[in-house]
Structure 1
Amino acid sequence: MNKLGKKWQLKIICLLLAIVLWFLIINEQNPISEGSYTVPVTVENLDAQYITSNVPKTVYVRLSGPRNTIINVGPSDIRAYIDLSNAQEGEMEVPVRLEIPHGTELKKQSMTSAKITVDVYTVREFILTSRLAGKMDDTAFVSSLKMVPEKVVVSGARRLIKQVSKAIVEIPVAGKSEDFSVMAPIHLEAADGSRIDGLEMTPWQSSVKVMIGHNAVTKVVPVGVATYGHLASSVTLKSIKADPETVEIKGEAGAVNGLSRIDLMPISLEGLDQDKEWKVTAPSIKGVIIDPDTINVVMKVEKAE
């Protein structure tokens, strides 16, 4: 009986040694390794009324695991995503979530959260405004022009579309003396003349046919500035004026002689509490060229007593 018991003890010891040896051999042949991956970040569960910006495109991930597992893992086996099922308009700080392959362990994630902007998707139509770029010959002027289409459909973030004041088509007229046609790009501007990017436009350019007139008449006229809205209660208006205060108009005698001044589009002063400057496009007048066609409007305020 004692001999039988000793044999079973030896067998158990041998079995344990075999298991330990097996693990040593496996670990030696398939050691723990690490792999690094650049994984694209996707947005999930976003309501159709919203669009996002500032979402990170990729996240850097480092995993560890048995070598045989790691060598078979690629970026497509790792899922990085932002869940926006509870999205609201404005800035949000959201976690960047990961799903990694079975048998691996996350060692490093370059970005665990991101500050993104959520906007309401909006579509709006704008009438195109022409702007002549360049100086024509002294006796030549644009007698008429036709843009096709005359409107542009703008889509994208509501906060950006709210800033759009006009859709501008710049028409190159430098040195032109005969009728011509051109495909001219469209760009969007705010009320202060700054350019607005980040929105989609359909179309992004307009076909423009320009008719050139000759024997132009020129005249210098003052620029009129109109405003609306109320300044902040903490300030009062010190001055507001156009720079330059006069412009040269050129064109058909009948059109030019009928103008005594150029009135700019009214400017909103609502809620302003500091000095401000706008770049305002001169109005489009058939048969008349206005030089310059962009006028600075400078407003100065002072503290209310």
Structure 2
Amino acid sequence: MKMKRFFGKLVRVYNKIIHSNLFLQILSLILGIVVWFSIINVVNPQNETVVSVPVEINMEGSIPEHYGLSVLTTETEPLYATVRIAGSRTNIFAFNSSEIKAEVDLSSVTESGGYSLNINVTSTDDNLEIVSVEPSTVFLEFDRIITRSFDVNLNFEGEVADGYVMTESQVYPRTVDISGPQSVINNIKEVYIPVNISGKTEGVTATSDIIIVNEDGNLTDRTFLTISSENVSYSYNIYYRKTVPLTIDRRNNISGDESSYTTVEIIPETVTIGGTKSVLDEITEVKIETPIALESITGSSQSYVFNLPENENYVYLDNQEMTASVTVSFDSAVRTRIYTLSRSAIENFAFVNLPEGMTATIASSSIQIPIRSLSSYLNMLSSSDITGTIDFSQTNDSGQYLVNIQINEEMPYGVTQRIYVDVDLS
């Protein structure tokens, strides 16, 4: 009996619901949604969308890489292609841009040059169709990348002030390494720094950017170049210039003056020096520091090679070897004659600086003195014209003492050997 009453109540509720307006509204909404999905998926299943995709240039393992080529590009931002895709509304709705890949087709690149290359677009979703790609091609240039070293030159423009000279130019680094496309590197003619020296009287130390020019004389495009040093240091000196004679002293260090019958030839005869004008105005010659010892010359002439003297006030501008050749020659009438002085003549030698209270006695029986002069003078010279002086300032013991030989006659001469005598001191 209870079960019958429950079902009767359930029937009354059901009849009430299906005959209400709310029920009819909900039912209409559900049927509308079902019909809408049916239209989307059956009546009009395809839809399209547009997406922007970055274009990849993958050189790794590519044909151009195999041929040693590199792509030349200055783009810092990636190239994008606009891709139109089609698919069901459901697939389009679920689409993610990472499922689309755009890549340049490099298969035709086998040598240097410019190429118009296709952009290949693929999708990992087989339910999507690639409708169009814009742009569909891209122009790229390829070349081999090489490195070469180039000297950095200083290109001087103009002339220094009158009376001055520019010298001793330097640049650091002396060379630069430049890497870039082979076609550009092989067309480089010169790397240099322009330096204007018009009217200058002083040197300069400075830095400057290098200039790179090609074989046509035009500036090289540096777009794809890598340069080891674009800024270099350079310096140069400017000196006041003066040409002066090169001289050397000659003397007989034993005794006599032989300058009147000797001649000296110096090669070069003059030297050009550089320095400040105020200093060079006071310089009238450059003298070789080592004088010629005439007593050491045994023949009619003797040649020497001397280093030029160093001086902190000037530099040599025209003598890179820093040497001079010197030849000393005697007059053809010059002769050497031996004069013998007896004991009695030697005993007349003068003594100087003899210690007080001491007596000097000549022990040598005779001495022979080689004297060089013009033959006309030697013919008039006798042993009686020769005197000597002995100096005891260096020692006060018996032994050999150097004799300073003099000739009483007014004549040019030279003693060619040092003369010693035995002296007893008591």
What TM-score do you get using the length of structure 1 for normalisation?
Answer: 0.51
Partner residue of 1:51 out of 70, 79, 92: 70
Per the alignment, residue 185 of structure 2 pairs with 161
For the 8 Å contact 2:53–2:81, the answer to whether it is kept is yes
For residues 239-279 of structure 1, the C-alpha deviation after alignment (integer angstroms, 9 at most, x for no partner) is xxxxxxxxxxxxxx889xxxxxxxxxxxxxxxxxxxxxxxx
Does 1:188 find its partner at 2:188?
no
Q: 2:81 is matched with which residue: 60, 63, 69?
A: 60
Change in 2 beyond 3 A, CA 1:150/1:114: same
What one-letter code is carried by the residue in structure 1 that aligns with 2:71? T
Secondary structure of the residue that 1:47 maps to in structure 2?
helix
Distance 1:175 1:104 in 2: 78
| 1:216–1:101 Cα change, 3 Å | farther
Match of 1:84?
106
Measure how far apart 1:154 and its partner are. 1.7
Q: Deviations over 1:77-121 (max 9, x none)?
A: 542222335532133443221123524433332232344333222
Q: SS of the residue aligned with 1:43?
A: coil
The CA distance in 1 between the partners of 2:204 and 2:175, in whole Å, is 21
Structure 2: which 5+ residue stretches go unaligned?
1-31, 243-271, 275-316, 318-426
Distance 1:87 1:68, change over 3 A: closer
Match of 1:117 among 141, 162, 177: 141
Alignment deviations for residues 161-206 of structure 1 (CA, whole Å, 9 cap, x no partner): 2211112234576897654443322232122211121442332324
1:199-210 correspondence to structure 2 within 5 Å: 199-210=224-235
Q: Is the 8 A contact 1:154 1:199 kept in 2?
A: no
Gap change, CA 1:164 and 1:207, over 3 Å in 2: closer
For residue 52 of structure 2, what is the amino acid of its counterpart? Y
Cα separation, partners in 2 of 1:62 and 1:179, compared to 1, 3 Å: same
- Per the TM alignment, residue 215 of structure 1 is displaced from its structure 2 partner at its CA by 4.3
2:49 match: 34
Residue 100 (str. 1) matches residue 123 (str. 2): yes
**Percent identity between the aligned chains?**
13
Opposite residue 58 of structure 2, the aligned amino acid is V
Alpha-carbon RMSD across the aligned residues, in angstroms, is 4.3
Structure 2 contact 71–143 (Cα < 8 Å) conserved = yes
Kindly state the Cα deviation for residue 71 of structure 1 after the two structures are TM-superposed: 8.3
> Which is higher, the Rg of structure 1 or of structure 2?
2
The structure-2 alpha-carbon separation of the partners of 1:199 and 1:18, relative to structure 1 and needing over 3 Å to count, comes to closer
How many angstroms does 1:150 deviate by? 1.0
Map residues 212-223 of structure 1 onto 2, 5 A cutoff: 212-215=237-240
Greater fraction helix? 2
Per the alignment, in what secondary structure is the counterpart of residue 234 of structure 2?
strand
Is the CA contact 2:210–2:230 (under 8 Å) kept in the aligned structure 1? yes
Aligned length: 202
Question: Which of 164, 171, 175 is the matching residue for 1:151?
Answer: 175
* Cα separation, 2, equivalents of 1:82 and 1:109: 12
Distance 1:202 1:94, change over 3 A: same
User: Secondary structure of the equivalent of 1:159?
Assistant: helix
What is the CA–CA distance in structure 2 between the aligned matches of 1:37 and 1:51, rounded to whole Å? 26
Bigger RCO (CA 8 Å, 6+ sep):
1
| TM-score calculated relative to the size of structure 2 | 0.38
CA separation of 1:199 and 1:178: change in aligned 2, threshold 3 A: farther
Structure 1 pair 162–129 and aligned structure 2 pair: CA distance change class (3 A): same
Q: Which letter maps to 1:82?
A: V
Q: Distance in 2 between matches of 1:113 and 1:132?
A: 50
User: Counterparts of 2:186 and 2:33 in 1: how far apart (Å)?
Assistant: 75
Q: Secondary structure at the match of 1:192?
A: coil
